[in-house]
């Protein structure tokens, strides 16, 4: 089986690729499991060396729109059975640069779906959407709990672009060009590495940086709600979207992945319980009105009924999420956080 991952050199793309390599086979939509014989990782940068060392992995490096315009068969070869579409410009970038978001999130998604359509092989496409499709405003307030059938009301360019991507994926699926699977990702924490341009980046940075022994910013109040998921459970949800039968999946609308409902204050308390007061004291609570304005529109509680039907459950608690991050990233943990 040949699998394509756009954004394959990014954090989730790399984690997904490693999970698939470890899994060794995949059963698409309930069909008999097939051995994974090839992984094409499409991104602007090359994936890590450990992935490139695997003979099954091919790096396709370049701008996704340019690659699809010049040689779409490099991105979606005729034997590709599944495409995980993770590539995207993130929320903060899209607010700062409207054209970047439209190019990276809307134009690239449309071009990718057209390349899949041109193959005439009906590949499965798993589109990574976001809880940013939900936005709260005084004119159109969100319900206290977001359910699978809650009307999306995006209030950012990123949210709009993701919602359009969901609808395009659903319609290409309705027309029989692809098997479309839309999954809405929650805020993923804790992400390793450096901060990115996402407005939600601090949800990882406020934990990751203190664990490394340096200050980490949390620019929103302690009572700010957040619906989050660990990296491991996020990847599990993405894979499950590909494996579910059509009957298990249900309607073409997006599935909300499960989320742990917490607050930034509770996250900080978990960090103190796991790593101590000195580490938690490194959180910098200086407010940032720009970030607060974006984050305040996002939902904090998700009832992921369809995900539960697929056997997907949220993380039990944030303490465990932090411990998992420490276990997986020992090189990024300062001595003060080990005691």
Give the catalytic positions in this structure. Answer: 158
User: Taking the CB of residue 250, how many other CB atoms lie within 10 A of it?
Assistant: 13
Q: Which segments within the chain are labelled E, that is strand? A: 2-6, 25-26, 34-35, 38-43, 57-61, 80-85, 124-130, 179-185, 187-188, 216-217, 225-229, 255-256, 260-263, 283-284
User: Considering only CA atoms, which of 57, 11, 17 is closest in space to residue 239?
Assistant: 17
The phi and psi torsions of 197 (rounded to 5 degrees) equal -85, 10
Could you tell me which of 30, 19, 6, 2 has the C-alpha nearest to residue 242? 30
Instruction: At 279, list the tokens.
Output: 């580490």
Q: Angle 174-99-195 (CA atoms, 0-180°, nearest 5)?
A: 95
**Continuous H helices in 120-214:** 157-174, 202-211
**At residue 235, what are phi and psi to the nearest 5 degrees?**
-65, -40
């Amino acid at each position: 089986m040949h699998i394509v991952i756009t954004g394959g050199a990014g954090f989730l793309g790399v984690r997904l690729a490693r999970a698939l390599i470890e899994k060794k086979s995949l059963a698409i939509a309930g069909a008999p499991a097939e051995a994974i014989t090839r992984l094409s990782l499409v991104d602007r940068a090359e994936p890590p060396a450990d992935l490139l060392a695997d003979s099954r992995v091919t790096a396709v490096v370049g701008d996704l729109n340019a690659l699809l315009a010049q040689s779409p068969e490099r991105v979606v070869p005729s034997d590709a059975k599944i495409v995980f579409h993770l590539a995207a410009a993130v929320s903060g970038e899209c607010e700062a640069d409207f054209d970047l978001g439209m190019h990276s999130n809307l134009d690239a998604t449309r071009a990718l779906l057209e390349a899949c359509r041109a193959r005439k092989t009906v590949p499965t496409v798993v589109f990574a959407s976001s809880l940013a499709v939900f936005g709260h405003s005084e004119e159109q307030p969100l319900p206290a709990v977001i359910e699978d059938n809650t009307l999306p009301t995006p209030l950012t360019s990123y949210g709009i672009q993701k919602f359009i991507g969901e609808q395009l994926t659903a319609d290409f699926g309705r027309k029989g060009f692809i098997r479309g699977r839309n999954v809405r990702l929650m805020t993923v924490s804790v992400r390793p590495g450096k901060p990115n341009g996402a407005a939600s980046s601090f949800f990882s940075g406020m934990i990751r940086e203190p664990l490394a022994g340096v200050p980490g910013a949390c620019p929103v109040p302690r009572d700010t709600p957040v619906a989050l998921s660990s990296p491991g459970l996020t990847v599990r949800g993405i894979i499950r979207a590909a494996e579910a039968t059509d009957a298990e999946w249900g309607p073409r609308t997006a599935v909300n992945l499960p989320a742990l409902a917490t607050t930034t204050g509770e996250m900080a308390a978990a960090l103190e319980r796991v790593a101590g007061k000195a580490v938690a004291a490194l959180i910098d609570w200086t407010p940032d009105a720009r970030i607060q304005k974006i984050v305040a529109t996002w939902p904090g509680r998700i009832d992921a009924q369809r995900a539960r039907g697929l056997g997907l459950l949220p993380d039990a608690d944030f303490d465990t999420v932090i411990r998992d991050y420490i276990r997986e990233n020992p090189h990024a943990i300062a001595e003060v956080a080990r005691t």
